[in-house]
Structure 1
Amino acid sequence: MMTQATAAEWIEAIAGKASLPVAVVQEALDRHAVEPQSTLPRRKSLRVRSVTLEGVKEGTAADGPFDQTFTFGPGLWAIVSDENFRGKSTLLNMIQGGIRGDIHERVKPDVWRWLSKAEIVFEANGIGHRVLVTKEAGDPDKDAAATFAREQEGGWFVLYEGTVGKPLERAVEDAMLAEFGFARFHAHNKKDGSHTHGWQVIASALFVNGPGEAVFGELLVDAIPLRLLQMFMGLPWVSTYTAASTALKRLRTTKAERLSPSKGLKDRLQARLGTVEDALAAARGRVRPGPDRGVLRARMLEMDGRLLALRERVEATRRETFRLERQLQGATTVLLDTRRALQQLKDDRAAGVVLRTLRPVCCPSCDTGIDHDRHARATDGSTCALCGTRQTPAEDEDGLRLEELQRDADDVAANVAELRAQATEAQASQRGAEAELSRAIASSRALEAALRTEGSADLELEIRGLEAQREQLLALIAAEEEEAEDEAADAAGAHDEAVLKAAEEVTKDLYDGLAREILADVSKEITQLSRSFGVQNIESMDWGTGGAMRIVQGRAQTSFGKLSPGENLRVRIAAALAVIEVARQRMYGRHPGLLVLDSPGAQEMAPADFAALLSRVHGAIESAGDIQIIVGARAEPALLDVVPCDHVTHAQGERFLF
């Protein structure tokens, strides 16, 4: 059958191989989402426009603010420096992070801290797209604000606005898959089950950052290098074959999981259920009349709460009694002091009255007699009969003080009486609370004793265990019945495995011949490029349809994984250029024409080999005007001689790129 077979011819071929009606085949393919994709794809392009970086450097030999924009166009571009560690890899990682949407993973922590703005603008099929990340300079947090927008009528139409991370990656992935017409890879293996690879894996083939495990791209799992090659070469029917193969593996895995030794399991479960129910009935029959242990436990929980409340109440009454007793003690002391002062004043006042009422008949000093008339005159004249001192009438201050002290004593006595009554009441409340707590504790202990009745606990545990077994058996029986229903429902798809197997074989036949031709061309191109890049003693390199690369080096069989780091890098670059060249020669394919090489001369590459590499790169550029290749490397004459002066960004001497 020809590669350009129509969808109808494809379905008829599957029906014939599976010996099934076309309608049954179509239903099975629809059920597993296997669709024909037979047309040769139209080539599309991806090109970097500019990268803008703003921020403030800290902790370097060139601290301070920076604001730098790097512009690019079609052709060969170089980012070079005279010294290492001048920002080349950072700039290339910015490009990769913007195109893949994972910029937060591509930037070193120190550079991320410096940044306040990173803007990457690129074209997908001539339509501008922009990834813009903003944050505070000096902030190490990865949660920066991000927008992803598409150019529209002279402005930017925002497709995503939020934080960097997985949401931004998904937004970029959805847009790029739609722009380029790429489909996600569906894969299934025993270890990881079914899973999908998207734009992140596809875009990885556009960047060569050094030696790696895979010839093409970054991952070896699920034959991704071969799938990427097939996708970029534009092989028809590859996506259909992948979908059919993945669906077939998934179906077989599901069937294998169901083919467990479960025949007759439902009958065995039913028999076991009968045994458990009989044992449960017997155990329940052995329950002696008495209080329900469930009720006792509920009462025990209730009693625990009551005990807690009673203990809090006892503590509260004790604190109140103590407070009132302290106040009563203080008030009693004040009352005693007040009464003592009142009595003293009364005694002093009584002594003064006694002295003033005495009428001596003689002088206490010389025994000279005193005339009684002299006392009468002294009283009338308000003078002292003894010394003749004039006396002036004054208010009875002692009397006023006496009245005041008497009132204080009465007030304090009333306060003491009130506090004594309150203290007595508090003491009675405390005793009542303590008595109620004691009764509650006794009730709680009685409940505990009832729960500890010998034999009851063991019987209850036995009953609970049998009840749990019964519930589990019922659940297993229900699951078996549900699986039986699923198997009955799957009867409608009984022919699915035959259909998918036929679809896999028919689809592979449709593109296998062309795939072998293309892989032969790619292998030949990789071999020639690798030799010109300085890979020693290479006789042949054969990239087979199974994904493995067989290499003959110095008449010995080897593989890509056994190459030295320098040879590994050269072969990876050769593979990337070979795909572009073969696609150009065949005039179809879906490689977007962007290739970014980071330090290709770093792996002990001789100047002559480096010059040969750049010459082939330049040749690829001249052959197709819509290709863009960006190289980051040390400033070497071989590089500067090939790249146009206006396409070179050069950090000379000790300078940095930004």
Structure 2
Amino acid sequence: MSDDIEDVEDDAAGPVEAWLEEVAARSGQPADVVREVLTEHGVRAHTALPRPHRLQVTEVEFEGTRPVPDGDEKADPAGVPFRFHWKPGPGVWCLASTGKNEAGKSSVLEIVLWCLRGRSGLQRDVRSWLHRVRTQFLLDDESLVVEMTVTDGVPAGTVASQQTGVVLVSFDGVKAFEESMDAFMMERLGLEPLRTQQKPRGEVEALPVTGELSWPSYASGLHINRKGLGQLLGNESKNALPTRLLELFLGAPWASTMVSAAVAQKVVAAQLSAARQRATADAEARRAQLGELSRKLDTERARLDALPGQQQAVGDLTAAYRALADATQEAADAQRELAAARSRHDLLEEQRYSLASALQAAQEAVLAKAFFHTLMPTVCPRCDTKVSKEQWAKEQEGQCSLCTSHLPASAHQAGVADHEDEGVDPESLRQELAGVQQAVEEAASGLGASQRRAIHSAEAFTQAETALNSALRDPGIAERRAAELAVARLEGAVSERKGRFAALDAAVDITPLEQANDVLKAAEKTAHARRTAALKEVLKAIQKDIVTMGRALGLEMLQRVELGTGATLDVWKGGQKHSYGSVTEGEQLRLKIVTTTALLRHGIRSGVGRHPGLLIIDSPGAEEVDSTDLQLMVQDLVKLTDMAPELQVIIATARGQDVASIIPTGQLRLAPAGERLW
């Protein structure tokens, strides 16, 4: 949205606050909820609209090649080249022929409209003839030029500023051109998309289909032709478009707010209805499911109660379960005991083996030392020097003949002394080994007992398991057990749905939707009241203009009209009331032109009308309009442009002789008799 809106809203803080207070009072919702809902749904208070913008075509140029007419053997088979160039300005301008309908007048208008709105209304064959198109127009004070090449009917080109040469839009393709011009013109003219909604076909509970009508729809208010006679304003029958165009012509305050709120409210109302239906359906489904579960529970309980005496069988089954549990526990205990006994036996066996090895090593060491100490050395083992008699004599004194160290008294004593010095006592090892050997024998005995217990407990477990399986295969037991399980499951399901699941009936919180629906409904009604009050004041004057101009255009029996705020027109003529849609096409054409003219006149006079000031009328004399009426119609348009010099009206007619004297000099492009304009 343009900055103009923001400025208006800031300046209109008083009316906006008053409106918000009224919305809060009407909806019964707090002010903070009102603001939150309106913000969430994009509904803003538009007490007035931005300043009007002006649009004027200043130059039209196109060229191409037209196919050779059948039977023209002299023409170039490649086709007949053509070029058209025209420079209209403000006021009434006319493209005309004399008695020839296929002179290319409507095609010129459609080319202009194609360049302005991005959407082509040209016939396929004519569009395929084009090679290059250039249209220049003024948007306020800026001169813009649309220039494109056309290949097989597909456009590619740019929109540029004539003053600066800056390219503002580039496009390549039919869809790209329409989308580019849509965004460009909406922003430049300060327009908002027209929000719409309609009910989907066939689906009662479905959300309404929402959409937007943008620049091509707005632009239909610039064009009056035969195809659009069914609509009082514009040429499209899309939802709410005539009403929005009426508001556009008159610059109606609060109109945008009213439409935004109305569209949002219908969407929210549909969501609310769907939420309520879902909540009701879910609650009913849960109640139905609870009822079905309760019925099944009663059936299973009755089946269980009806089973014949099974007390003894049930007792046997319980005993079998208990015996299996005891056997299982006994087997587990026996296995743990066996594992402990095996671990103790293995540990003692390992200790016995270690002591036996140590004792053997100690005994071998004693014997070795005793042997070596009895030997008499003759030479030194290091250097082979012979041991002298003197050295041998020292051994008698208790010294070693080689190193003079002290020798024990005897080899046996030396072995014992050395062993004691090392702290290893073979006798102690012998005694310790005997104690460990006894412990190993005791552990082996305990291990055997544990193994026998484990084997016995395993056999008891197998017997208990076999007994239980045998009991379970009893038909009576199996049936009772199945019934008991079914009852238990059903009791749990019923308990859940009566307890935790019961809260689901209130779990769908539709309060936010109800609040939003109330706020949006109040916003739409209050904005509608303000918008309608503003429009009714101006529509009275416009109705008088419609009657005056209508009589001047040949509607001699026209008594009065009533122009509704929804762009409806009721007509009183010949003492009878008629709707716009029920009168003849010739009368529709006159009424549409005079209504559009009256709205333009008021908008220009008041300075608030937002119609851009360009009106294109195709064939105003085609529908039961005699020469005098056509001349009066064109004269009135000329008077309108005299009153508003910035207004531009472009007319195409095949009755050039009727309007030639009325169109200002230099503003009529008349094709020679029987020939085309291009």
Q: TM-score range, shorter-chain basis?
A: 0.5 to 0.7
SS for the counterpart of 1:249 is helix
Distance change >3 Å, CA 194–CA 19, structure 1 → 2: same
Residues 114-135 of structure 1, C-alpha deviation per residue, up to 9 Å, x if partnerless? 2111222222223233333323
Distance change >3 Å, CA 130–CA 269, structure 1 → 2: farther
> Which residue, 159, 180, 198 being the options, matches 2:169?
159
- State the alpha-carbon separation in 2 of the partners of residues 484 and 221 from structure 1: 43
Q: Which consecutive aligned stretches of 4+ in structure 1 deviate over 6 angstroms post-superposition?
A: 269-275, 483-487
Matched, 1:626 2:646: yes
Distance change >3 Å, CA 646–CA 497, structure 1 → 2: same
Contact 1:28 1:493 in 2 (8 A): no
> Which residue, 196, 203, 218 being the options, matches 1:187?
196
> Which residue, 22, 28, 31 being the options, matches 2:31?
22
Distance change >3 Å, CA 486–CA 212, structure 1 → 2: farther
Contact 2:232 2:568 in 1 (8 A): no
Match of 2:109 in 1: 92
Match of 2:553 in 1: 533
TM-score, scaled to structure 2: 0.61
Matched, 1:264 2:283: yes
Contact 1:41 1:589 in 2 (8 A): no
Match of 1:77 in 2: 93
Distance change >3 Å, CA 135–CA 187, structure 1 → 2: closer
SS for the counterpart of 1:592 is coil
Match of 1:577 in 2: 597
SS for the counterpart of 1:23 is helix
Matched, 1:606 2:630: no
Matches within 5 A, 1:495-534: 495-534=515-554
Matched, 1:597 2:613: no
Contact 2:272 2:513 in 1 (8 A): no
Matched, 1:147 2:157: yes
- State the alpha-carbon separation in 2 of the partners of residues 494 and 109 from structure 1: 51
Match of 1:120 in 2: 135
SS for the counterpart of 2:646 is coil
Counterpart of 1:242 in structure 2: which amino acid? V
- Give unpaired runs (5+ residues) of structure 1: 279-476
Match of 1:107 in 2: 122
Matched, 1:173 2:190: no
- State the alpha-carbon separation in 1 of the partners of residues 592 and 567 from structure 2: 14
Larger radius of gyration: 2
Matched, 1:254 2:275: no
Counterpart of 1:123 in structure 2: which amino acid? L
Matches within 5 A, 1:340-351: none
> Which residue, 203, 213, 229 being the options, matches 2:219?
203
SS for the counterpart of 1:188 is strand
Match of 1:426 in 2: none
SS for the counterpart of 1:601 is coil
Contact 2:246 2:567 in 1 (8 A): no
Match of 1:12 in 2: 21
- State the alpha-carbon separation in 2 of the partners of residues 37 and 515 from structure 1: 15
SS for the counterpart of 1:68 is strand
Matched, 1:655 2:675: yes
More displaced 10-residue stretch of structure 1: 486-495 or 250-259? 486-495
- State the alpha-carbon separation in 1 of the partners of residues 506 and 139 from structure 2: 46
Contact 1:3 1:510 in 2 (8 A): no
Distance change >3 Å, CA 602–CA 190, structure 1 → 2: same
Compute the displacement of 1:595 (Å): 0.4
Distance change >3 Å, CA 271–CA 81, structure 1 → 2: same
Match of 1:51 in 2: 60
Compute the displacement of 1:174 (Å): 1.1
Compute the displacement of 1:224 (Å): 2.0
> Which residue, 247, 250, 259 being the options, matches 1:242?
259
Contact 1:231 1:238 in 2 (8 A): no
SS for the counterpart of 1:182 is coil
Matched, 1:64 2:64: no
- State the alpha-carbon separation in 1 of the partners of residues 565 and 12 from structure 2: 17
Contact 1:125 1:179 in 2 (8 A): no
Match of 1:339 in 2: none
Residues 567-614 of structure 1, C-alpha deviation per residue, up to 9 Å, x if partnerless? 111111112111111112223210111001111111121111111111
Match of 1:214 in 2: 231
Quick one: percent identity of the two aligned structures? 26
Match of 2:379 in 1: none
Task: Tell me the matched-pair count.
Answer: 446
- State the alpha-carbon separation in 2 of the partners of residues 198 and 109 from structure 1: 24
- Say what the alpha-carbon RMSD is for the aligned residues: 2.9
- State the alpha-carbon separation in 2 of the partners of residues 255 and 492 from structure 1: 9
- State the alpha-carbon separation in 2 of the partners of residues 48 and 244 from structure 1: 36
Contact 2:656 2:670 in 1 (8 A): no
TM-score, scaled to structure 1: 0.63
- State the alpha-carbon separation in 1 of the partners of residues 158 and 285 from structure 2: 56
Residues 151-196 of structure 1, C-alpha deviation per residue, up to 9 Å, x if partnerless? 164314141321113x221211111111111111112222362222
Matched, 1:641 2:666: no
Counterpart of 2:603 in structure 1: which amino acid? A
Compute the displacement of 1:494 (Å): 4.0
Compute the displacement of 1:508 (Å): 1.8
Distance change >3 Å, CA 70–CA 254, structure 1 → 2: same
- Give unpaired runs (5+ residues) of structure 2: 1-10, 201-207, 298-496
SS for the counterpart of 1:107 is coil
Distance change >3 Å, CA 547–CA 161, structure 1 → 2: closer
- State the alpha-carbon separation in 2 of the partners of residues 543 and 652 from structure 1: 42
Counterpart of 1:262 in structure 2: which amino acid? A
- State the alpha-carbon separation in 2 of the partners of residues 58 and 555 from structure 1: 54
Distance change >3 Å, CA 492–CA 109, structure 1 → 2: closer
- State the alpha-carbon separation in 1 of the partners of residues 648 and 242 from structure 2: 22
Contact 2:171 2:180 in 1 (8 A): no
SS for the counterpart of 1:495 is helix
Counterpart of 2:272 in structure 1: which amino acid? K
Matches within 5 A, 1:291-370: none
- State the alpha-carbon separation in 1 of the partners of residues 625 and 506 from structure 2: 62
Residues 334-356 of structure 1, C-alpha deviation per residue, up to 9 Å, x if partnerless? xxxxxxxxxxxxxxxxxxxxxxx
SS for the counterpart of 1:646 is coil
Distance change >3 Å, CA 226–CA 155, structure 1 → 2: same
